[in-house]
Amino acid sequence: MSKITADKTLKIWEFATQHLVAGVSASTRVNKALGRPFIALHGEGSRLWDVDGNELIDLCTSHGGSILGHRHPKIVAAVEKALEMGILCSYETEYQGRLAAKICEMVPAAELCRFTCSGTEATMHAIRLARTITGKEKILKFEGHFHGYHDYVHFTWGPSLDKLFSVDESPTIPESAGVPEGMTRYCVVAPFNNLIALEKAIKNHKNELAVVICEPINYNAGCIIPDREYMQAMRQLCTDNGILLIYDEVLSAFRMGTDCG
């Protein structure tokens, strides 16, 4: 096996630190195992090459975004076709409607679609809509579940293990500096896949809860698959108490399997 080198990586990273916070465009890209970022040169199929020429098998796949591998011929052809049309980001084309039709066909609960630029925007708009419909303001989320970076949900998605797994409500822990202290009053947190805790939380807050939001499969904490009976009970509890239910399925739907939507 060839020796892993990082000479060019370190030079590029050193330059980047002069212009980017920590020298990376996202904090987790300073890899804890490596003690530095992985700086990619190109990808092909299931493999990546870094700027130092090291070849690796890509087990990250852009957190699922590159699940078909790198430079898949159909993806390349689609991107080339889009580029030939021009940079039409601020305009409608026929393809938004075609994509929406495919989603509605594959996800029976999706009667209509609205596209957003990020998962953060999607959950923010969905929660705001739920508040409008129900006339209530609080949300209930779960330990270890990540729903973006807006202040409504930026709680208890990466807490230490000694603060988790209560049979009662979990602590509402801000995951970043700068989250207003008053935002905690709008967010209730419960342990996941614990029906007793969920029933207690809904009973205590049902007159204030606009929505329950969850990752149906908790990918943010690995790949935690809940009991089917638990998810069915969650659906029924929300229905019985006039609470909307949001499945945040950026990872657990089409990246898990097309029959999971």
Tell me if 131 is assigned to some domain.
Answer: yes
Is there a contact between 139 and 125 (Cβ–Cβ < 8 Å)? no
* Inter-CA distances, 68 with 106, 164, 230, Å: 19, 35, 32
Q: Among 62, 87, 108, which residue terminates a domain?
A: 62
Residue 252: exposure state from Cβ atoms within 10 A (0-12, 13-18, ≥19) = buried
45 plus 126 within the same structural domain: no
Taking only Cα atoms into account, the Rg of the chain, rounded to an integer number of angstroms, comes to 21
Tell me if 95 is assigned to some domain.
Answer: no
Provide the pLDDT for residue 259: 61
Provide the pLDDT for residue 247: 93
C-alpha torsion 27→28→31→33, nearest 10: 130
Q: Among 62, 85, 106, which residue terminates a domain?
A: 62
| pTM for this prediction | 0.85
Q: State which residues form the domain around 24.
A: 7-62
125 plus 192 within the same structural domain: yes
For the chain, residues with pLDDT lower than 70 are 1-3, 159-168, 253, 258-261
39 plus 158 within the same structural domain: no
222 plus 156 within the same structural domain: yes
Provide the pLDDT for residue 261: 43
- Report how far residue 169's alpha carbon sits from residue 214's, in angstroms, rounded to the nearest whole number: 15
246 plus 127 within the same structural domain: yes
Tell me if 90 is assigned to some domain.
Answer: no
Question: pLDDT for 196-224, tens place per residue?
Answer: 999 999 999 999 999 999 999 998 888 88
How many domains, the chain?
A: 2
Tell me if 89 is assigned to some domain.
Answer: no
Is there a contact between 201 and 188 (Cβ–Cβ < 8 Å)? yes
Provide the pLDDT for residue 162: 63
Tell me if 94 is assigned to some domain.
Answer: no
247 plus 125 within the same structural domain: yes
